Chain A
Amino acid sequence: MSLGYYFLLPVLFSFLTPYFKKLGSFTLRGSSILLSLVLFLQTVAYVGVKLPQISQFSIKPPLGIAFILDGYSLLFLLIFTFSALVVSFYMYWFFEENSGRDEARFYVFFNMLIAGSIGMILSCDIFNLYIFFEITGICSYTLSAFNKDKLGLESGIKYLIIGSIASIFIVFAIMLIYLQIGTVNLGLIAQRFHLIDPKISVLIVLMLFIGFGAKAELFPMNFWAPDIYQGSISSVNGLFSSVVAKAYLFVFFHLFYLFNLGSKYMLFVMVIGAITFLVSEFTALNQTNVKRLFAYSTLGQLGILFMALSTNSSQTVSGALFHLTSHSISKLLIFLALGILIHKFKSAKIDILGNFKSGFLTIVLAIGFLSILGIPPFSGFVGKILILKGFALSQNYTAIAFILLVSIVEAIYFFRLTAMMLDKKRAKVTVKVGSVNYIILTLLAVLIILFGVYPSLLTHYTDLATNALLHPTNYLNYALGVGL
């Protein structure tokens, strides 16, 4: 199957949504599940195939446009399609419970969001990358305003304004690159990036940093993220945390290593990541809204990932990619489980949500919390320990001390939440979990434990991804059309 179908199929399903709606809500919900299932199975079929794979459209690159799948994008593709599958099953339950909501509007933008994020990680052309960036952006604005109430619309408007600022910076950077080098192909840009006048190259890097950093929720530009998480429904929060933010992070580091910016800007990105981690974890301490709390927690984890991914050492980067996968699964589990509680209590205040009584939800939420915190035997522990081991091998003891110290702050609120759930006196309201949710939440929890107990299941793919990220020779050859 050509890689182009990763984009074409979701777009096709998006445009067919009005017809599916006419055929009934079962078809509508089923179509989304079918689409995610097809994309996920197709991605699984790429596991073990010789990488990179290329699909060119009409003309051979570097003149034509192409999609390239290498080890690095394969890992993200697996995460994205898996998350989409889980969320589409969850939405089946959600619309069953909330009948009368505008289902078709959700599915149009959900499918396009998947198309946009996948396009961003496959495209080998910076202008196409910008188009997919905008598609993902527009869909996330609309999804965050899915509740057409005051809070939802406010979050949509805020996201749109931030997104417009980011896209102006990125358009400017792309224009400067084209004016300097005369191409939009990533391979050619990577080859000729060092020829650009240093002053202009600093300007380009700064603009790309602001543009992608603002979307990937980096420190000075991430004040908006908790607002948007608070205004959107919790399955959309799960998507933002495990797909959208990760897609922007993918592009950030893809360009970082392709343009070989590591030697100049490594310290800068590391410090920004560290500040993100520190500030977010301290702000998370006194949040009373559960969505804001986990938004800040997401920002904190992204801070660790930015610290670890910028190091250019293969152990740390591999650990960071492991942590990224584990974080995506855990955050998806937490947001979906919280969505069930928020639906029951019609509120997102921690005090009110703490009154639930359901053994199953307590167990899965505790698994999610402890995994993000990094307690064995869950996958978050392995991720954190691999990152720390990488830092130790490169003798960066400051980073180790910093991560461990800030993790104590993280521990305070996670243990507080866990203790609140286990408190027998509070538990009053019995919460029913639908059978679909039993299956998906169990699946996510089992995956967290499985990757925690047998990390080698995942480390093989993170090592492949690290190799592709740090040594993009094969990718560049394909992007330049050598030997096609």
Chain B
Amino acid sequence: MLDFFNNTQTIHMIIIIGSMALFFIGFYGIATQKNLVKVLVSFDIMESALFLFFIGLHYQVGLVAPIVDKNLKTFTSMVDPVPQAMILTTIVIGLAVLALGLSFGIEYYKLTGRNDISKMNELRD
């Protein structure tokens, strides 16, 4: 039974289904939620889904993380390090945008007492 899960294709399938589900949870949040904080959290969920998808698809059974230590004997026994470096950078960027969005939200709440994005419609002709 456990051998079934110890198979690259099965793991990839689980990761694709799981990250797609997570992606649509985030999408649902953006489409339905009106609270600015919840919308920003939904963006973060969507981004996390992408990260899991990308990192997961580069994992293969039997390969180790690309970190130099005693488990790493040869370069062929580790997974591709480029996606991991890219995702690490993207996580940092996502965090920065989230923090900026929250700080805008706090300032806006202090001024108006509202955090409902459907009522942010004062910019009009």
Indicate with 1 or 0, residue by residue over B19-46, a CB within 8 angstroms of chain A CB atoms.
0000000000010000010010001001
Among residues of A, the one whose C-beta sits closest to the C-beta of B109 is: A153
A151 at the interface (CB under 8 A from B): yes
**A105 neighbours in B (Cβ, 8 Å):** none
Alpha-carbon distance between A138 and B105 when the two chains are bound, in angstroms: 15
B3 at the interface (CB under 8 A from A): no
Stretch at the interface among A27-35, A140-148, A465-473: A140-148
Indicate with 1 or 0, residue by residue over B100-121, a CB within 8 angstroms of chain A CB atoms.
1100110110011000010010
Pick the contact of A287 from B57, B101, B120, B125 — CB < 8 Å?
B125
Pick the contact of B104 from A153, A167, A287 — CB < 8 Å?
A153
Alpha-carbon distance between A171 and B89 when the two chains are bound, in angstroms: 11
A156 at the interface (CB under 8 A from B): yes
Pick the contact of B46 from A156, A168, A179 — CB < 8 Å?
A168
A281 at the interface (CB under 8 A from B): no
B97 at the interface (CB under 8 A from A): yes
Among residues of B, the one whose C-beta sits closest to the C-beta of A224 is: B123
* Apart from A141-B100, A158-B123, 13 more pairs, CB < 8 Å: A127-B86, A137-B97, A138-B100, A145-B104, A151-B123, A157-B104, A160-B101, A161-B101, A164-B43, A175-B83, A178-B54, A178-B86, A179-B54
Among residues of A, the one whose C-beta sits closest to the C-beta of B89 is: A131
- A175 contacts B54, CB within 8 Å? yes
Alpha-carbon distance between A163 and B96 when the two chains are bound, in angstroms: 13
Alpha-carbon distance between A155 and B93 when the two chains are bound, in angstroms: 21
| A binding-site residues for B, Cβ under 8 Å | 127, 130-131, 134, 137-138, 141-142, 145, 148-151, 153-158, 160-161, 163-165, 167-168, 171-172, 174-175, 178-179, 184, 226-227, 230-231, 286-289, 292
Among residues of A, the one whose C-beta sits closest to the C-beta of B114 is: A150
Q: B1: shortest Cβ distance to chain A, in Å?
A: 30
Q: B9: shortest Cβ distance to chain A, in Å?
A: 15
B82 at the interface (CB under 8 A from A): yes
- A175 contacts B53, CB within 8 Å? yes
**A134 neighbours in B (Cβ, 8 Å):** 93, 97
- B100 contacts A160, CB within 8 Å? yes
- B53 contacts A157, CB within 8 Å? no
Q: A121: shortest Cβ distance to chain B, in Å?
A: 19
- B82 contacts A154, CB within 8 Å? no
- A168 contacts B82, CB within 8 Å? no
Provide a sorted-by-A list of 25 A–B residue pairs whose CB atoms are within 8 angstroms: A138-B97, A142-B100, A151-B123, A154-B108, A154-B120, A154-B122, A157-B36, A157-B117, A158-B120, A160-B97, A160-B101, A160-B104, A161-B101, A163-B97, A164-B97, A165-B30, A167-B97, A168-B43, A175-B83, A178-B54, A178-B86, A179-B54, A227-B124, A288-B125, A292-B125
What is the total of A-B residue contacts with beta carbons within 8 Å?
90
Q: Which of B75-90 contact A (CB under 8 A)?
A: 82-83, 86, 89-90
Alpha-carbon distance between A76 and B36 when the two chains are bound, in angstroms: 36
- A171 contacts B111, CB within 8 Å? no
Known: A145-B104, A150-B111. A157 touches B120 (CB 8 A): yes
Among residues of B, the one whose C-beta sits closest to the C-beta of A287 is: B125
Main secondary structure of the interface of B (DSSP, over half): helix
Known: A138-B96, A150-B112, A178-B83. A230 touches B36 (CB 8 A): no
**A151 neighbours in B (Cβ, 8 Å):** 122-123
- A178 contacts B82, CB within 8 Å? yes
Which of the listed residues A131, A148, A153 has the most CB atoms from chain B within 10 Å of its own CB? A153
Among residues of B, the one whose C-beta sits closest to the C-beta of A230 is: B123
Among residues of B, the one whose C-beta sits closest to the C-beta of A175 is: B54
Alpha-carbon distance between A141 and B100 when the two chains are bound, in angstroms: 9
- B108 contacts A150, CB within 8 Å? yes
Q: A243: shortest Cβ distance to chain B, in Å?
A: 20
- A231 contacts B54, CB within 8 Å? no
**B107 neighbours in A (Cβ, 8 Å):** 145, 148, 153
Alpha-carbon distance between A203 and B82 when the two chains are bound, in angstroms: 23
**A165 neighbours in B (Cβ, 8 Å):** 30, 43
- A153 contacts B108, CB within 8 Å? yes
Known: A168-B50, A175-B50, A175-B54. A150 touches B100 (CB 8 A): no
- A231 contacts B83, CB within 8 Å? no
The 10 closest A-B pairs by CB, nearest first: A227-B123, A153-B108, A175-B54, A164-B43, A134-B93, A154-B120, A157-B104, A160-B101, A156-B104, A230-B123
Alpha-carbon distance between A327 and B50 when the two chains are bound, in angstroms: 38
- B123 contacts A154, CB within 8 Å? yes
**A148 neighbours in B (Cβ, 8 Å):** 107
Q: B62: shortest Cβ distance to chain A, in Å?
A: 20
Q: A126: shortest Cβ distance to chain B, in Å?
A: 10
Q: A390: shortest Cβ distance to chain B, in Å?
A: 35
Alpha-carbon distance between A103 and B47 when the two chains are bound, in angstroms: 34
- A171 contacts B125, CB within 8 Å? no
**A149 neighbours in B (Cβ, 8 Å):** 111
Alpha-carbon distance between A145 and B106 when the two chains are bound, in angstroms: 13
Q: A123: shortest Cβ distance to chain B, in Å?
A: 14
- A157 contacts B101, CB within 8 Å? yes
Alpha-carbon distance between A137 and B100 when the two chains are bound, in angstroms: 11
Among residues of B, the one whose C-beta sits closest to the C-beta of A168 is: B46
**B50 neighbours in A (Cβ, 8 Å):** 168, 171-172, 175
Alpha-carbon distance between A164 and B50 when the two chains are bound, in angstroms: 13
- B39 contacts A161, CB within 8 Å? yes
Alpha-carbon distance between A317 and B45 when the two chains are bound, in angstroms: 41
Alpha-carbon distance between A141 and B97 when the two chains are bound, in angstroms: 10
